[in-house]
Amino acid sequence: MNIYFEKIRIINPYQEIDAQFDLWIKNGRIMHLSPDSAKTDEDTRIVNAESLVCSPGLFDMHVHFREPGFEHKETTLTGAESAANGGFTGVVCMPNTEPAIDNVPVCEYIANRAKGNLVDVFIAGAITMGRKGERISPMLELLESGVVYFTDDGTCITKSEVMRRAFDYAATKDILLAQHCEEHSLTDNFAMDESALSYKLGLKGYPTVAEEIIVSRDIRLAEYCGNRRIHFSHVSSAGSVELIRTAKSKGLRVSCEVTPHHFTLPNSLLDSYDPNLKMNPPLRSDQDINAAIEGLKDGTIDCIATDHAPHSLHEKEVEYEKAPYGVVGLETSLGLSLTYLYHKKVLSLREIIEKMSVNPRRLLQMDDIVFDIGSEANITIFGLDEEWLVNKSNFKSKSLNTPFVGMKLKGKPVFTFNNGLVHESEL
């Protein structure tokens, strides 16, 4: 599909661009980019784009595509389709598959499954074999096979000695390690955030300190091991945000992400016992939400990532305490970010694009996306003021476990371009 966008606002932080242009994408490449108009051909669709914004393709560094082993929840193909529908051109899939991504054949299997998609599917390898927190995986081999960072996501490496060895091993290639921060002895079989409400509802609580203990430990370990790179996944507590802020002020190479559900949904919603509100880490207090928003504003929080965690209908539609943790998020992430961060004047459009495209790519040392004549289009186009209701029947994900059904959002993806392909969002 060849499309000519008339008078579209283009924002590219890589190039310090924020201006209105005419943009022509033909055969997957930028054919025209100028304040002036161009003569098109009959094969090109003309779009009046004065209400649209063009940015570098969105990138989510934390998704679960479930393949291999849990294809009834999601596959690489359905996950990529979901990502494109939500405006993403790149994602990183987590290693908590079966078998885990701790060996080269599994990496090659996923890479082959990802070929030919609009969305670039990158791979996070396991830090330890089988994600059991004991033996370090063959990181260098996995790195050569295309792994972009390492994590045991879904579980925390609770043994400090193992995490120290991981930092030492990672030092040989300056590898980025990420941590799922959860002191499991304090959270076993939890159902929600530990709070007055959890006691009232009779649900096992997950105290914020269980996250903060690991954040604090890994900051200290990363510093002790020579200022190694450490990324904290889905931070959810005010205490974690403050620990990371302090570490950054000392010059430590610390980064982190927050999910849209953790800056939009309070734990008070759990009195509904809706299993689609059950996630790990759990929804937190208003104080924690406010801390996440402040962390996004002051740059403590580098990225917005979905932690897209699909589960099938029969798994989620059970008694709350028996439901698995996790929600899908790729198709609501941009809408939630624009609604709660841009339209509420928390972040500028440039800052949202940085956290949803620029920063994750730079953390993973990927090439900048540059808009030049002749360059391949890696682009997300969205309607800034378009209002819509979240309807999971329009999702491309194989699973539909979202807590946002029926929510009115302002701002939505419209087109996604990458790898010579284009997707027009059906949300």
> 119: number of CA atoms within 13 Å, CB side?
32
Q: Do the beta carbons of residue 155 and residue 122 sit within 8 Å?
A: no
Helices 286-298 & 238-249, crossing angle to 10 degrees? 20
Bridging pattern class, strands 230-232 and 254-258: parallel
Contacts 24+ apart (CB under 8 A), 138-142: 138/102, 138/103, 138/104, 139/169, 139/170, 139/173, 139/175, 140/172, 140/173, 141/104, 142/101, 142/102, 142/103, 142/104, 142/107
Catalytic residue among 41, 302, 307, 368: 307
Q: CA of 313: how far to CAs of 73, 276, 278, 391, in Å? A: 9, 10, 14, 16
- The answer to whether residues 342 and 411 touch, using CB atoms and an 8 Å cutoff, is yes
Contact 97, 69 (CB under 8 A): yes
- The one-letter amino acid at 384: L
Q: Is 307 a catalytic residue?
A: yes
Q: At what angle do helices 208-224 and 160-170 cross, to 10 degrees?
A: 40
Which residues are catalytic, by number?
307
